[in-house]
């Protein structure tokens, strides 16, 4: 038999052999994204075992059956037909890979440990949430992809960015731990996750084990499909953790890992706008807690008080919505704390660093009123003063603290008082209470004087003044008793007394830039308003003398009647005159008399 005939018959017999059995279908669970496996030697490539066995069997058939037939065929001299089947190609076929889905960034929350609570009577570190952006790859997305990515990122530990937000942040999960798989069953009313970890997770130490389980449970249960967590180690169910009580684990299992005030939203590094929604858990005395929104330099934007759903030994939840006003974006803090039952000082203070967006905020119903303790009660804005430091007082219902200049002042029953050092010339004083900010401009004339006087004649260049004394309190009572105005032991009805023992008149030059403040009625109170010099002069008679209404003189009726300024321009109406070092009148303030 020729070699050519031997090859032809061999091909024929091979194609007559039975087909190989199909490839067995084995189920495979793979995480998305898949964790990086621990290297276990080079990967092996080649045919599966069943294929090798089938090939050997085919060769045996050829040897056992084909060779005798070849000899028989060659013996009778019959030429076999040329085979029509084309032999397999010698080159490997081209494999087309399915298109890949680009990674999708997703924000998840990871839970580590840090000693970040200020003025706390308890011991840290405590569980702290941080935000992490992870990439997931999926055709459809879904909880499982985010779930796996969150656990893998948690096992990797804190990032460099996390350490910038919380100094000393750490993890109790061994870095060699691998996430081998997980299942989530949410077919019942409570979602259950089973997380399979490598044996590296079983490090020694009961406290460390409790902490690492708390990290896993809080990270897993951020997803609404998961309420409880169970564990497997190397594919086998496992529940015998050191120092741990067996059973499904929920957040309630590890509440002791939290500080007394736990802020779950916003997270450190978040960019937030007005209104801010703050949520979390608290276990404080009588469930009370206070909050502040402040800038990085301590400027207070908003603050307030709220209560959790439970307290004094039990955990409650809270949700706070806060408005603030801010002209430009700035770094700041969301601050929560409680007041000590012993002395009222802040304790269990938690500061969450955030970026605050610019916002108009809500100021409805908020007030900030500021006045100075100057002669005649001249308003702070635009006043001229001759003494420093200056004491200012104010009222606000917008905050528990205000900032006057760079100093923080406490508010007691919505009233505050501050002492401000002045420099010669124009001074600007900024007062901030919650979302309200006012800027006041005052002029300090260190060599000036202030005189209390009645005016007998006025013009746009000079005034004629009769100096007197304005006395209040005990000094007023004593002077009135001495002058025979009241008997011994009595007090002045309105708390003040005017003494005018010297009838000398003084002619004083008036500055063309003189500022004039007059009291005017307001709803339930008296307020000060400023008038131009010309308008003030119009309140007097044509010759510049005051109206003597007691003798029957009747001031003309104007759009702003004289009594609107409590008799300004009438005889007997007192004023405070501020004079500079040259004796020039630079400010006139009308004195209100009840």
pLDDT of residue 19: 45
DSSP 542: T
- pLDDT by residue (tens digit) across 436-472? 888 888 899 999 999 999 999 999 999 999 999 999 9
- Residue position matching structure tokens 């009580």: 245
Contacts of residue 133, Cβ cutoff 8 Å, sequence gap at least 6:
105, 106, 107, 108
pLDDT, position 69: 36
The phi and psi torsions of 409 (rounded to 5 degrees) equal -120, 130
Instruction: Give buried/exposed letters for 325-356 (b at 16+ CB in 10 A, else e).
Output: bbeeeeebbbbbbbbeeeeeeebbbbbbbbeb
Question: Hunting for tokens 């004079």 — which residue is that?
Answer: 579
| Per-residue tokens: 332 | 């700041």
For residues 511 and 583, give the distance between their C-alpha atoms in angstroms, rounded to a whole number.
10
The arithmetic mean of pLDDT across residues 562-572, rounded, is 80
Separation of CA 301 from chain center: 11
Instruction: Name the token pair of 228.
Output: 């409880």
How far apart are alpha carbons 175 and 166 in whole angstroms? 20
Residue 316 has pLDDT above 90, yes or no: yes
Rounded distance, CA 138 to CA 161, Å?
Answer: 27
Q: Band the pLDDT of 376: cuts 50, 70, 90.
A: low
Is pLDDT of 141 > 60?
no
Query: Looking at residues 298-304, what average pLDDT do you find?
Result: 83
Q: Which residue has 């858990």 as its token pair?
A: 281
Residue for token pair 């979302």:
435
Helices and strands of the chain, counted as H and E runs: 8, 30
Q: How distant, in Å, are the alpha carbons of 389, 451, 470, 498, 504 from that of 501?
A: 31, 15, 12, 10, 9
Contact predicate 384/443, CB 8 Å? yes
Residue whose token pair is 């219902």: 397
Bridge partners (DSSP) listed for residue 112: 128
Average pLDDT over residues 464-488: 95
Q: Is the dihedral of CA 259, 263, 267, 273 positive or negative?
A: negative
Task: Round to whole Å and give the CA distance between 66 and 137.
Answer: 53
Maximum C-alpha span of the chain: 164
Burial class (CB in 10 A: 0-12, 13-18, 19+), 24: exposed
Sign of CA dihedral 395, 399, 405, 410: positive
Distance CA 405, CA 391 (A): 13
Share of the chain above pLDDT 90, in %: 49
536 token code pair: 């003030």
Token pair of 48, please? 């599966």
Specify the pairing of strand 505-522 against strand 425-433.
unpaired
Nearby residues of 297 by Cβ (< 8 Å), 6 or more positions away: none
In this prediction, residue 562 has a pLDDT band, given cuts at 50, 70 and 90, of low
Look at strands 496-499 and 469-472 and give their pairing. Answer: antiparallel
pLDDT digit string, tens, across residues 383-393: 899 989 988 88
Between residues 298 and 533, the one the model is more confident about: 533
CB atoms within 10 A of CB 575: 24
Looking at residue 422, its pLDDT comes to 93
Q: Is residue 96 scored above 70 in pLDDT?
A: no
pLDDT above 70: residue 167: yes
Lowest mean pLDDT among 20-34, 148-162, 360-374, 416-430: 20-34
pLDDT at 523 (0 to 100)? 56
Compute the distance between CA of residue 371 and CA of residue 385 in angstroms, rounded to an integer: 13
pLDDT score recorded for residue 63: 36
- In this structure, are residues 479 and 468 in contact, taking their beta carbons and an 8 Å threshold? no
- The half-sphere exposure of 304 on its side-chain side, counting CA atoms within 13 A, is 16
E strand intervals along 326-424: 330-339, 346-356, 368-372, 384-385, 390-396, 401-404, 407-410, 415-420
Report the alpha-carbon distance of residue 385 to residue 418 in Å, rounded: 16
Helix (H, G, I), strand (E, B) or coil at 447: coil
In a 3-state reduction of DSSP, which class is residue 537?
helix
Please, which residues have CB within 8 angstroms of residue 295's CB and are 6 or more apart in sequence? 301, 330, 331, 332, 333, 356
Q: Report d(CA 275, CA 358) in Å as an integer.
A: 11
* Rounded Cα–Cα distance for residues 272 and 358 (Å): 9
Beta-bridge mates of residue 469: 499
Q: Which residues lie below 8 Å from residue 540, measured CB to CB, with a gap of 6+? A: 458, 546, 547, 569
Residue 46 has pLDDT above 80, yes or no: no
What pLDDT, on the 0 to 100 scale, is given for residue 11? 41
- Name the more confident of 4 and 26: 4
Q: Tens of pLDDT along 342-369? A: 777 889 999 999 999 998 877 777 888 8
The reply to whether the predicted model has a pTM over 0.85 is no
Provide the strand spans (E) within 234-383.
236-238, 261-265, 271-272, 276-282, 288-295, 300-307, 316-322, 330-339, 346-356, 368-372
If we measure between CA atoms, which residue out of 255, 301, 297 comes closest to residue 274?
Answer: 301
- The mean per-residue pLDDT over the stretch 404-415 comes to 86
Q: Which residue has the higher pLDDT, 71 or 150?
A: 150
């Amino acid at each position: 038999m020729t070699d050519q005939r031997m090859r032809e018959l061999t091909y024929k017999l091979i194609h007559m052999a039975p087909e190989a059995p199909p490839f067995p279908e084995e189920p495979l669970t793979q995480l998305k994204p898949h964790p990086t496996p621990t290297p276990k030697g080079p990967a092996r490539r080649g045919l599966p075992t069943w294929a090798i066995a089938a090939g050997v069997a085919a060769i045996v058939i050829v040897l056992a059956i084909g060779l005798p037939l070849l000899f028989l065929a060659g013996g009778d001299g019959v030429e076999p037909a040329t085979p029509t089947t084309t032999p397999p190609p010698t080159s490997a076929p081209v494999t087309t890979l399915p298109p890949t889905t680009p990674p999708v960034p997703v924000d998840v929350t990871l839970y580590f440990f840090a000693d970040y609570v200020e003025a706390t009577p308890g011991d840290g570190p405590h569980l702290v949430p941080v935000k992490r952006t992870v990439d997931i790859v999926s055709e459809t997305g879904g909880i499982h992809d985010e779930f796996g990515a969150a656990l893998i990122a948690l096992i990797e530990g804190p990032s460099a960015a996390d350490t910038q937000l919380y100094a000393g942040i750490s993890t109790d999960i061994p870095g060699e731990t691998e996430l081998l798989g997980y299942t989530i069953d949410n077919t019942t009313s409570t979602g259950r996750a089973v997380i399979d970890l490598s044996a590296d997770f079983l490090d020694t130490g009961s406290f460390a084990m409790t902490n690492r389980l708390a990290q896993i449970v809080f990270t897993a249960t951020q997803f609404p499909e998961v309420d409880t967590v169970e564990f497997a180690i190397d594919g086998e169910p496992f529940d015998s953790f050191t120092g741990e009580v067996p059973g499904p684990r929920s957040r309630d299992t590890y509440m002791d890992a939290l500080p007394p005030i736990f802020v779950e939203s916003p997270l450190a590094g978040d960019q937030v706008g007005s209104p801010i929604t703050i949520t979390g858990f608290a276990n404080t005395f009588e469930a009370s807690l206070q909050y502040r929104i402040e800038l990085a330099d301590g400027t207070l934007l908003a603050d307030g008080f709220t209560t959790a759903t439970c307290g004094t030994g039990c955990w409650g939840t809270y949700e706070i919505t806060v408005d603030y006003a801010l002209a430009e974006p700035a770094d700041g803090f969301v601050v929560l704390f409680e007041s000590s039952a012993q002395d009222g000082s802040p304790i269990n203070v938690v500061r969450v660093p955030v970026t605050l967006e610019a916002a108009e905020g809500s100021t409805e119903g908020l007030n900030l009123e500021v006045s100075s303790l100057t002669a005649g009660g001249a308003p702070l804005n635009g006043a001229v003063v001759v003494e420093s430091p200056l004491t200012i007082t104010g009222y606000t219902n917008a905050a528990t603290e205000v900032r006057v200049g760079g100093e923080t002042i406490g508010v007691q029953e919505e009233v505050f008082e501050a002492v401000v050092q002045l420099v010669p010339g124009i001074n600007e004083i900024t007062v901030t209470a919650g979302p309200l900010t006012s800027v006041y401009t005052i002029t300090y004339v260190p060599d000036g004087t202030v005189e209390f006087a009645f005016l007998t004649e006025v013009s746009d260049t000079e005034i004629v003044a009769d100096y007197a004394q304005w006395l209040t309190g005990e000094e007023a009572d004593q002077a009135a008793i001495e002058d025979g105005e009241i008997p011994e032991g009595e007090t002045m009805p309105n708390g003040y007394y005017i003494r005018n023992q010297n009838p000398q008149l003084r002619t004083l030059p008036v500055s063309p830039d003189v500022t004039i403040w007059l009291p005017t009625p307001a709803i339930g109170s008296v307020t000060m308003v400023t008038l131009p010099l010309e308008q003030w002069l119009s309140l007097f008679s044509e010759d510049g003398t005051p109206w003597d209404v007691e003798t029957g003189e009747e001031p003309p009726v104007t759009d702003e009647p004289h009594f609107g300024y409590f008799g300004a321009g009438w005889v007997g109406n007192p004023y405070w005159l501020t004079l500079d070092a040259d004796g020039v009148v630079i400010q006139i303030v009308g004195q209100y008399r009840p």
